[in-house]
A and B are shown apart, each in its own frame.
Chain A
Amino acid sequence: MIASSLPSRVGIGFKPEHFADILAEPQPVGFFEVHAENYMGDGGVPHAQLARLREDYALSIHGVGLSIGSMQALDRPHLSRLKTLCDRYQPESFSEHLAWSTHDGVFLNDLLPLPYTRETLDRVCDHIDTVQAVLGHRMLLENPATYLLFAESTIEETAFLAEIARRTGCGLLLDVNNVFVAATNHNIDPHDYIARFPLEAVCEIHLGGHSETVDDLGAPLLVDSHDTPVKDPVWALYRTVLQNTGPIASLIEWDNDVPAWPVLREEASAAQRLLDAAARKRVA
């Protein structure tokens, strides 16, 4: 059982406004990724578009609402909806986040952070075991962009993710922008973080943009806003990862202030050039 069978090429986060452009000609795109929750209506345009895209492209379904990091029970009806969606579209990959978003039945619509302790590790592993059992295949878990730390944390994030992958067999989705954002916010070297990351479990990479603000003491505080091109230090980090892993399915994520399709495609081409270079290096 493999965690993901996405091609080791660049993919793009699908936005409905690009549908006509995408269909107009064959696109140099290895896969499209969609947010699962946007396809949980019964019918209409969203499913018509996704079914059409599915005919020509590999698909990654990326959940943003399962709340795997919650200390409360998993939302079983939501898990059933995910199962229905995955059964219908047979995606090459299903991924979710190391975060929580639902509490006491209220959906907060953000990827909220959790402390890294033995207790939370056990809980997250239980949840992933359940998800994988229900879906019938392995999932990928994404590292979070975080803005603060917890006094009670006793495990480093990289070790936490490595242990989850080891125990549950899930793959990891390495969001390189999240690494840069979180490393800056916590004043650690992002290259050190990557050096400690369990790269052997990585099946997909995310690349996106972020915005900049400051904390209460004026220290840099980056926000994972997905509303800009990928920034230079994130490209640099991506190159470092590829040197260690070889080519891996890599997604351009641009969710807010979404640009015209050619802009997004150019961003994807830039990533594809780095993937191609990594592939040549492998052969050589």
Chain B
Amino acid sequence: MSQTMQSAFAAGLFDAHPPPPGLAAWNKATPRRRYAVYSNNVETSLTGALAARFPAAERIVGADFFRAMAGAFIRACPPRSPVLLAYGDAFPDFAARFEPARDVVYLADVMRLEFARGQAYHAADALSLDPDKLAGIDPHRLGELIFVPHPSLSILSSLHPFHTIWAMNTGERPLADLEHWDGEHVLVVRPRLIVDVIPLPGDCANFLRRLAAGSMLGEAAALAGGEDFDLSHALAILLRSGAFTTFREG
């Protein structure tokens, strides 16, 4: 089999080309349906892999719409690795630009949340910070501490109630009308085996995001914004969620 033959075989799988020449069947049948078993396997299995990673998105837009959008994505961004558990990182951005989904303004953010959950699920195991370790720190030096984020940590923000919508489309919350259409912020982390999605106030999300990026605690608190920023509440979330593994003095 020349590489050209393999290229032709591969190309037709995605683009509904007729089968390449050189294929045969025992009964001299045209190999259209036989070749289609392969192209169908490719499309169905990759669409299935995406549906498994983005179940709330599938529920929101419906199975048929999702399949069409996934098909377009697979053609634009086919997997570059056999490890499909990481496939689909570009799918939320693709959905944001996908013209037929334009009216579903929150779809991409819900998908970013689903992707973050998937990453957290497979992230490296690590022990979260023991709160007692902070107790021994000189209070005057607290502001200089730099925290190491847990490998599973993501902090996401949206102009839309993406967390509420996600929860309603995964069975975590009953479907109901939304009384307010406010932006939401969440922390995603897997301190042990279960992935947690924890709602955050916006300033707390800013604070934790800066902390996760390597800012010292004092600096992150000062830049978190909002006069109402409640540092002790933010620190309680930091410790209770297991979002960080350790700290060092900056």
Are B31 and A148 in contact (CB-based, < 8 A)? yes
Residues of A within 8 A of B3 (CB): 71-72
Residues of A within 8 A of B79 (CB): 106-107, 109
Which residues of chain B from 83 to 97 have a CB within 8 Å of any chain A CB? 83-86
Cβ of A4 within 8 Å of any chain B Cβ, yes or no, is no
Are A152 and B82 in contact (CB-based, < 8 A)? no
Cβ of A119 within 8 Å of any chain B Cβ, yes or no, is yes
**Contact residue among A107, A120, A187 (Cβ-Cβ distance under 8 Å from B82):** A107
Are B33 and A213 in contact (CB-based, < 8 A)? yes
Which residues of chain A from 80 to 124 have a CB within 8 Å of any chain B CB? 81, 100-110, 112-115, 117, 119-120
Cβ of B153 within 8 Å of any chain A Cβ, yes or no, is no
Residue of A nearest to B26 (CB): A187
Report how far A64 CA is from B85 CA in the complex, Å: 13
Place the interface of chain B in its size category. Answer: 35 or more
Cβ of A149 within 8 Å of any chain B Cβ, yes or no, is yes
Report how far A96 CA is from B130 CA in the complex, Å: 44
Residue of B nearest to A70 (CB): B6
**Contact residue among B27, B30, B122 (Cβ-Cβ distance under 8 Å from A44):** B122
Are A107 and B78 in contact (CB-based, < 8 A)? yes
Are A100 and B35 in contact (CB-based, < 8 A)? no
- Nearest Cβ on chain B to A260's Cβ, whole angstroms: 20
Are A44 and B6 in contact (CB-based, < 8 A)? no
**Contact residue among A40, A81, A108, A149 (Cβ-Cβ distance under 8 Å from B10):** A108
**Contact residue among B24, B41, B83 (Cβ-Cβ distance under 8 Å from A40):** B83
Report how far A14 CA is from B120 CA in the complex, Å: 22
Cβ of B240 within 8 Å of any chain A Cβ, yes or no, is no
Residues of B within 8 A of A106 (CB): 10, 78-80
Are B34 and A45 in contact (CB-based, < 8 A)? no
Cβ of B81 within 8 Å of any chain A Cβ, yes or no, is yes
Report how far A40 CA is from B151 CA in the complex, Å: 16
**Contact residue among B1, B80, B122 (Cβ-Cβ distance under 8 Å from A41):** B122
Cβ of B13 within 8 Å of any chain A Cβ, yes or no, is yes
A-B contact count (CB 8 A): 156
Q: Given that A38-B85, A217-B27 are known contacts, is A103 also in contact with B6, CB under 8 Å in the complex?
A: yes
Report how far A42 CA is from B86 CA in the complex, Å: 11
**Contact residue among A45, A110, A119 (Cβ-Cβ distance under 8 Å from B38):** A110
- Nearest Cβ on chain A to B55's Cβ, whole angstroms: 15
Cβ of A43 within 8 Å of any chain B Cβ, yes or no, is yes
Are A44 and B42 in contact (CB-based, < 8 A)? no
- Nearest Cβ on chain B to A32's Cβ, whole angstroms: 19
Are B29 and A219 in contact (CB-based, < 8 A)? yes
Which residues of chain A from 191 to 240 have a CB within 8 Å of any chain B CB? 213-217, 219, 221, 223
25 A–B pairs (Cβ distance < 8 Å), ordered by A: A41-B121, A41-B122, A44-B123, A70-B6, A71-B2, A78-B81, A102-B82, A103-B10, A104-B7, A107-B78, A108-B10, A109-B82, A110-B42, A114-B6, A147-B38, A148-B24, A150-B23, A151-B24, A186-B26, A216-B34, A217-B25, A217-B28, A217-B29, A219-B27, A223-B37
Task: List 8 additional contacts besides A110-B45, A147-B34; criterion CB under 8 Å.
Answer: A106-B80, A107-B84, A109-B45, A109-B46, A113-B38, A148-B34, A152-B22, A219-B27
3 closest residue pairs by CB, A with B: A65-B82, A41-B122, A43-B125
Binding site for A on B (CB under 8 A): 1-3, 5-7, 9-10, 13, 19, 22-35, 37-38, 41-42, 45-46, 49, 78-86, 120-126, 151-152, 190, 193
